[in-house]
Amino acid sequence: MRPGKLRRYYIKTYEELYLAVDRRMRAISILRTRKNKQLSALRTTLLAKLGTAFNILKSEIDKLDSLIKDLSKSHSFYREIFTLETGKYPEDLSPVIKKMKRSISIIYREHRIRIKQSREKREAVIAFRSGIGRLLSVYRRRRRVIESIKYAVAELSKLPDIVDGYTVIIAGMPQVGKSTLLSKLTRAKPKISPFPFTTKTVIVGHILVEPYGRITLVDTPGILDRPIDKKNPIELKAVLAVKHLADTVLYMFDPSPQSYYSFDEQIRVYRSIVELIENKEVVPVFNKIDLTPRELLESRASLLERIYGSKPLQVSALRGDNLDRLRDLLIDKFMEKTRHLLRRF
């Protein structure tokens, strides 16, 4: 499933559905108004109106059903983002939707019979009104969850398509220069500013490696140093991208004395990322070397190497220092994976 395709599912809120039903029923009234209508003529009008309301509801619920089916089959990253927004896994919503479908069919059938069997006009009108009320209440009772689905779809459809292949996630605390790096390595134009959480969702750029394919580089929101259950939904998007999409993570540090968050905090978040994806590689990158005195750079780099055994690559995304080396490193990793895949065929 490509998230852009979700735009074709326009989900109605309860209010929108109510208005649609009301408008269509009024149209029928205008067409069929006749004074002193006979009981049989009235019954025909009421049955047509009830049928219209039922069809509108049914097509809305069918839409929800195919949306949920599409989402259930989608990549785990999209499913988790959906769960983040709605609090429910798509597959858990399937029974709810099936139940709604069943309920409206039963109500429709029951009230059609009551209208057909009514012996006077008043009885027919009462049966019709209660039928409409019950049909609408099936949707109204689920309005919260439907609104959360609508919101999740809007959020999901903003996300980039994930292409199969080699994906590098740029992660780190806010303000370390993740978006600046993406903008320098690819043609993407992420927003860059000196305020935390400038980036609020995942943003993608590509490095072409002709003729073999391309590297997908994903810029993410900043991650703060706090437990997972305290993280906000923006940070969680970054965590989910690391967990579900990464072949390699570039973990960016700002080792400069002016960094927005302390170096200790940045190390703690680094450790949490390493632990999150034990079997994948996390490459530490020190950014802003233009702002960092040499002795500080060296002491912090050797501290990291001593504890984690990895030597950070030192760059300045803003000035462009060492970005060629970083690009070559990513291309080497991409080629390694491509060769590995080719050998399997």
Ligand X SMILES: Nc1nc2c(ncn2[C@@H]2O[C@H](COP(=O)(O)OP(=O)(O)OP(=O)(O)O)[C@@H](O)[C@H]2O)c(=O)[nH]1
Q: Tell me the three state secondary structure of residue 4.
A: helix
Burial class (CB in 10 A: 0-12, 13-18, 19+), 50: buried
In contact, 154 and 186? CB cutoff 8 Å: no
Q: For residues 69-108, which are near ligand X according to CB under 6 A?
A: none
Interhelix angle 178-185/323-344, rounded to 10 degrees, is: 70
Q: How far is the CB of 160 from ligand X (least distance, A)?
A: 16
> Going residue by residue from 297 to 336, which x/- string records binding to ligand X, judged by CB under 6 A?
-------------------xxx------------------
Distance CA 171, CA 169 (A): 6
Quickly tell me which residue has 């927004």 as its tokens.
85
**266 binds ligand X, rule: CB under 6 A:** no
* 18, 58 Cβ separation under 8 angstroms: no
- The Cα–Cα gap between 330 and 323 comes to 11
> Considering only 114-122, 141-149, 157-165, 282-290, which stretch makes contact with ligand X by CB under 6 A?
282-290
Tell me which of ligand X, Mg ion, none is bound by residue 86, counting a contact when its beta carbon lies within the kind-specific cut-off of 5 to 8 angstroms.
none
Token digits of residue 309: 């055994």
User: In this chain, which stretch among 69-77, 168-176, 206-214, 305-313 interacts with ligand X, using CB under 6 A?
Assistant: 168-176
Tell me: does residue 179 bind ligand X (CB under 6 A).
yes
Q: Comparing C-alpha atoms, which of 199, 155, 146, 151 is closest to residue 176? A: 199
Nearer to Mg ion, 198 or 310 (CB): 198
Contacts of 296 (CB under 8 A, 6+ apart): 255, 256, 257
Scan residues 208-227 and list those touching ligand X (CB under 6 A).
221-222
CB closer to Mg ion, 198 vs 338? 198
Residue count, binding to ligand X (CB under 6 A): 23
Is 165 an interacting residue with respect to ligand X (CB under 6 A)? no
Binding residue for ligand X, selected from 103, 287, 292, 322, defined by CB under 6 A? 287
Q: Footprint of ligand X on this chain (CB under 6 A)?
A: 174-180, 192-194, 196-199, 221-222, 287-288, 290-291, 316-318
